[in-house]
Chains A and B, each alone.
Chain A
Amino acid sequence: MMHHHMSPIPKTEILAFEGRFDIHSLMHFRSWQPSATMPHIILDLSRVNFVDSAALSWMVRLSKQASMLNGSFQICGLQQPVHIILELTRLDRVFVVTTTIDEALAKIAP
């Protein structure tokens, strides 16, 4: 399940997932992409206990799209199983990973 959160800073979209973040939970918004007016994305995974390759692929695509819009893509609040998956695929080197949303927001705010 995905939720949109109000961001305290402009041009920033905060998305939060729960439980398994996989091909099934992506079903309804696979084609979602960042807009030029909201190029910064923060993905809150603090309530996610598993990500599959489809979710990883979606994150990589979002990261590339945000970069093309001169924005940013950050993931925060990783649980250990998710962290392991990111480490094993070495995607932890690709994404900016923070502990909290506030930390992620601080990186965007000038």
Chain B
Amino acid sequence: MSMIFPHNPALETIAHAWIKTGIQAFGLWIDDHYHYVWPTPSHITTVEYRAPLIVNGQMIGELHLAGSHHANWQERLNADAGLLAAVLQYQQTVQLLTDELIDCQDQLVTLYDIWASMGQSADLSTLMQSLMREVVRLTKTTNAWISFGAGLGFQQSIIHGVMPISESILRSIQTNQLTLFTNHDPICQSLGVANLLWVPITIRSVIIAGGLGICHQEGEFSATDIKFVQAICEHISHHLEQQMLYQESLAKIQIEADLALAQRVQQRLLNTPLPQIADIQLTAYAKPAHSVGGDFYDVLQRPDGSVAIMIGDVVGKGVAAALLMMLSRTALRTAALATHDPAAILERTNLDLYDDLTTVGVFITVFVAIYHPKTHMLWFANAGHSPVLLYSNEQTQLLEADCPPIGVLPQLCAGSHAQILHPGDIMVGATDGFNETHNHQQEMFGYQRLCHLLSQHHALPAAALCELFFTHIEAFADGCHQEDDRTLIILKATP
């Protein structure tokens, strides 16, 4: 306090005012001796009047007058002492505020440095260590730590300080709200600290990512300390959220890349050039509802010169259906190369896939036809697949299934049927993405429209007919979202 007086103009003004009244001397008495006496040089041997200087409830010294008497001087001296004490108190408050402001600026600069360095630091653990170091330094504490919960997928504590914090202590204080424990709380008593501050770190307002606790062995946390720690926690929260977003973006990019690859593989399988067969036009096209789909078709030339034509639909959509579609296509191919009987191809494929399809809980509708170019005979078998249309003798009919789809029963009991293809006859194998297409009025395209379309345009070449089917179905949907894959394979006996 004495350091304030040498430059205190208020004290000098009061002293000079008293000297002008004719007193002998005016003095400031602190700690059993005079700090100042006016006029200089002079001494005070006998004190006539004295008044205490009380700052913040404490007497820090006295004002003394010597050598003169006056009726009101004691009151006046008391008033001067009160005024001076008030000035001293204001000066002290201003000094404290200045100190706090400097601390606050320090913390702001640190926060800025932390914010700037967060983007550069790849190692989360190192970053958190440096944060704890700064927290300890700027809040003048002994310990700081962050404990990460299972919400982030890992569990660890990063501690900076001398005091070991056990897991059980951590568990006992971790809450979802900012908590300031004092020396009345058992936790502070057991740790031997005056205060303990717990600030939670939240991510996306819900997940509790961790918390930042700091201990103070003596003294109290200021409001600035608490705000600083809260700001640090918010920075950590933002940083962790950014990291999570980054990881999610990476995962999304990975999934998109995998899907694009799966789509390329599927498109390549489906777009393999169809074989050229004498007196037959063959065309096919698939339009999945998603990037990958569950519909498939396949055409392969068998060793005896016949051609196997297959179209199928794995129930379901997306990646799972696409995976099963690949599996089914391979199983059907293997069976089609081993036997010439369409029903036997279906039976064997059912045998191969039944257990797997039962495990997954799906089935596959398949239509298989074997065409013999020499005899123009078309053998076919249908396991729950529709629609398959046949245009012959100026009529269009549905080739209905005679057994359930593959994967429904352990034994299919499929049957093969034969049909001679005359010039101009057409077989159209489609998937239910065609007949179940609906428009804005929730009206379905249905089988009748498909049959009518084929009857009306049977004169078209197979490729043009394929294009026409797709054009008509899209015109009917009139912009309605395509919910299911659409696949079409057309075989036409050249007129």
Binding site for B on A (CB under 8 A): 50, 52-54, 56-57, 60-61, 64, 87-91, 93-94
Q: How far apart sit A56 and B401, CA to CA, in the bound complex (Å)?
A: 15
CB within 8 Å for A57 and B404 given contacts A64-B358, A88-B386: no
CB within 8 Å for A89 and B436 given contacts A64-B358, A94-B404, A94-B408: no
Cβ-based interface call for B226 (8 A): no
Q: How far apart sit A32 and B143, CA to CA, in the bound complex (Å)?
A: 53
Cβ-based interface call for B403 (8 A): yes
Selected contact of A90 from candidates B362, B404, B444, CB within 8 Å: B404
Cβ-based interface call for B149 (8 A): no
Q: How far apart sit A53 and B358, CA to CA, in the bound complex (Å)?
A: 15
Residues of B within 8 A of A60 (CB): 361, 363, 407-408
Binding site for A on B (CB under 8 A): 313, 315-316, 358, 361-363, 365, 383-387, 398, 400-405, 407-409, 432, 436, 444, 484
Selected contact of A91 from candidates B384, B398, B484, CB within 8 Å: B384
Asked whether A94 lies within 8 Å of B409 as measured between CB atoms, the reply is yes
CB within 8 Å for A88 and B363 given contacts A53-B315, A57-B316, A60-B408: no
Asked whether A56 lies within 8 Å of B315 as measured between CB atoms, the reply is yes
Residues of A within 8 A of B401 (CB): 88-90
Asked whether A53 lies within 8 Å of B400 as measured between CB atoms, the reply is no
Task: For residue B443, give the distance in angstroms from its CB to the closest CB of chain A.
Answer: 11
Please name 14 further chain A to chain B contacts, defined as beta carbons within 8 Å, in addition to the given A88-B401, A93-B404, sorted by A numbering.
Answer: A50-B444, A53-B313, A53-B432, A54-B315, A54-B316, A60-B407, A64-B358, A87-B400, A88-B384, A89-B384, A89-B405, A90-B402, A90-B405, A91-B405
Please classify the interface of chain B as helix (H, G, I), strand (E, B), loop, or mixed, using the class held by over half of its residues: loop
Q: How far apart sit A94 and B432, CA to CA, in the bound complex (Å)?
A: 20
Residues of A within 8 A of B385 (CB): 89
Residues of A within 8 A of B361 (CB): 57, 60-61
Residues of B within 8 A of A54 (CB): 315-316
Residues of A within 8 A of B387 (CB): 88
Residues of A within 8 A of B400 (CB): 87-88, 90
Residues of A within 8 A of B384 (CB): 88-91
CB within 8 Å for A57 and B365 given contacts A90-B384, A91-B404: no
Q: Which of B361, B398, B409, B444 has the most CB of A within 10 A?
A: B361
Residue of B nearest to A84 (CB): B447
A-B contact pairs, 14 of them (CB 8 A): A52-B484, A53-B313, A53-B315, A53-B365, A60-B407, A88-B384, A88-B386, A89-B365, A89-B385, A90-B400, A90-B405, A91-B384, A91-B405, A94-B408
Q: How far apart sit A88 and B405, CA to CA, in the bound complex (Å)?
A: 10
Residue of B nearest to A61 (CB): B361
Q: How far apart sit A61 and B359, CA to CA, in the bound complex (Å)?
A: 9
Q: How far apart sit A89 and B407, CA to CA, in the bound complex (Å)?
A: 13
CB within 8 Å for A57 and B363 given contacts A89-B401, A93-B404: yes
Task: For residue B390, give the distance in angstroms from its CB to the closest CB of chain A.
Answer: 15
Residues of B within 8 A of A91 (CB): 384, 404-405, 408
Q: How far apart sit A61 and B264, CA to CA, in the bound complex (Å)?
A: 31
Residues of A within 8 A of B402 (CB): 90
Residues of B within 8 A of A90 (CB): 383-384, 400-405
Asked whether B315 lies within 8 Å of A89 as measured between CB atoms, the reply is no
